[in-house]
Structure 1
């Protein structure tokens, strides 16, 4: 995950080569807090400690910044899912992977970005397209392939591996949406890592022969 920058950090303390990463990190925060439509380039520039004009040196549009947030701020944290397919002892590997994803969802602004994509996809379909093509397809595909490989080794019961994959992910998505939507109005929170752990153990009881 890209580092979170304190607002207004003086420009002269940073190398020019660092600025794209700093702009992306700032945009990650601003998008999560304000959504895509309400996020202004002025907000991102202020958060990154650069001028608005400096943003245009690296990104032509706000959509380009969002693509960079997905590619550099989110995708690297999900890449380990694709490595599951060749890992031995699928249940233990799955426990570690889901635990890490739950930690990232609970400790970073990722949930705000998820809510933004869901809430604004109708007006900004390119957000959903980027999220689907660059994150959902490889992550869901990697988990599906891992389950299929575990089935071939006899570690997992027969069944549609893609359906299994969706069943594993769904509670975390619901937990993130709950946190982003209902916690601000005082709803009781869920412990995302604990939710993920309980769900994985319960589901594995039905998946493991």
Structure 2
């Protein structure tokens, strides 16, 4: 092959590419899809204290215990859950937060006059004695992670995060539960039953203090 022929072949190839490109850009057919609307779905968790109560976005005074003393049992209370949104959810996360109000003026016997600055100290004496998440088909013991003979499931269990030999509100705050969403149940509702005990070992450390508990429930897609 001589030099002249090689140049000719290259030029032809280049021209072919340019012609092809010109053809591609010249001929086209455009169609459109109009009036498309995307609406975000919703997750709308509502709760109530009793089966006859209306569903609301929150409840108050699940427990209201005046004159509590170390060793007292805090009676079982229940909260019902239902998703009124349009998006199917998979899990319900349960955790808590809390604060402490110090008595003013301070009780002389109060051995910890600054509990409001470190409420974890009092939360470690608020023992969870009973906590079940249930409906007609499930009954999950959140102290063991068992649902009847099923389990234990780690996400269904509160662990002893500070290794003090008891399960407290401090542990629930630091090791949230991840339970089956109400949406996964045929009845579309579930309930939480929970009872507490103010540890006798608390002694005089928190005399006159007010412990304010906030349970937090989050539905997850």
Short-chain TM bin? 0.3 to 0.5
TM-score (norm 1): 0.32
**More relative contact order, 1 or 2 (CA 8 Å, 6+ apart):** 2
Greater fraction strand: 2
**Normalized against structure 2, the TM-score is what?**
0.31
> Which is helix-richer, 1 or 2?
1
